Amino acid sequence: MDKLFGLEMTTIAGCLGAVLLVVLLVLAVVGWRNNVMLKLGLRPIVRRRTQSGLIIIGLMLATLIITAAFVTGDTLSYTIRSLVVNELGPVDEIVRVRGNASQDSSYFALSRYEELAINLVDYSLVDAVAPAIRESLPAVNLTRRQSIRSLEVTGLRSEDASLVLPAEELTDEQGISLSLDSLQSREVYLNAAAAEALHAEPGDSLQLFVGSAPREFVVRGVAASGRSARAVMNLRQAQTLFGERGRINMILVSNLGDQASGATQSLQVTSKLRGLLTDQNAARRIFGRLAGDPSSAAAVRKAAATYQGNTKADLLALAAGLETATLDDKVRSLLSDEGFASEVQSILDQADWKTEAVRRRLETQFAEVSELTVDDTKRDGLDQAELAANAFTTIFVVTGLFGIASGLLLIFLIFVMLAAERKSEMGMTRAIGAQRKHLVQMFVYEGTAYDLAAAGVVLADEQHAEGLGPGVLGVLPGAHVERLHAHVAGLVGHALEPPADRVGSRGWWTGPKAVSSPVVPKANSCRFVFPMRIAPAARSRTTSGASAAAWR
Query: What are the pLDDT digits (tens) for 459-498?
Result: 663 334 344 444 433 434 444 444 434 443 444 343 333 3
**Contact indicator for 340, 334 with CB cutoff of 8 Å:** yes
* Spatial distance between the Cα atoms of 62 and 450, rounded to a whole number of angstroms: 13
Q: Which of 144-153, 403-412, 420-429 has the lowest mean pLDDT?
A: 403-412
Q: What is the pLDDT of residue 168?
A: 82
pLDDT at residue 74 greater than cutoff 80? no
Give tens-digit pLDDT for 330-350.
Answer: 888 888 888 888 899 999 999
* Spatial distance between the Cα atoms of 401 and 396, rounded to a whole number of angstroms: 9
pLDDT at residue 138 greater than cutoff 90? yes
Give helix 266-277 / helix 377-421 axis angle, nearest 10°.
150
Strands (E), 143-198: 146-156, 187-190
Q: What is the pLDDT of residue 460?
A: 60
Q: What is the pLDDT of residue 365?
A: 87
* Spatial distance between the Cα atoms of 389 and 77, rounded to a whole number of angstroms: 5
Distances in Å between the alpha carbon of 407 and those of 55, 353, 381, 403, 542? Answer: 10, 52, 38, 6, 41
Domain residue extents for the chain = 24-90+389-493, 93-263, 279-369, 494-552
User: Measuring CA to CA, which residue among 227, 236, 243, 241 is closest to residue 194?
Assistant: 227
User: Measuring CA to CA, which residue among 228, 252, 309 is closest to residue 92?
Assistant: 252
Q: What is the pLDDT of residue 418?
A: 74
R_g (Cα) of the chain, nearest Å: 36
**Contact indicator for 379, 105 with CB cutoff of 8 Å:** no
Contacts of 190 (CB under 8 A, 6+ apart): 198, 200, 206, 219, 221, 222, 223, 229, 230, 231, 232
Q: Is 258 helix (H, G, I), strand (E, B) or coil?
A: coil
Q: What is the mean pLDDT of the chain?
A: 77
Give tens-digit pLDDT for 28-46.
Answer: 888 888 888 888 778 888 7
pLDDT at residue 2 greater than cutoff 80? no
Q: What is the pLDDT of residue 197?
A: 94
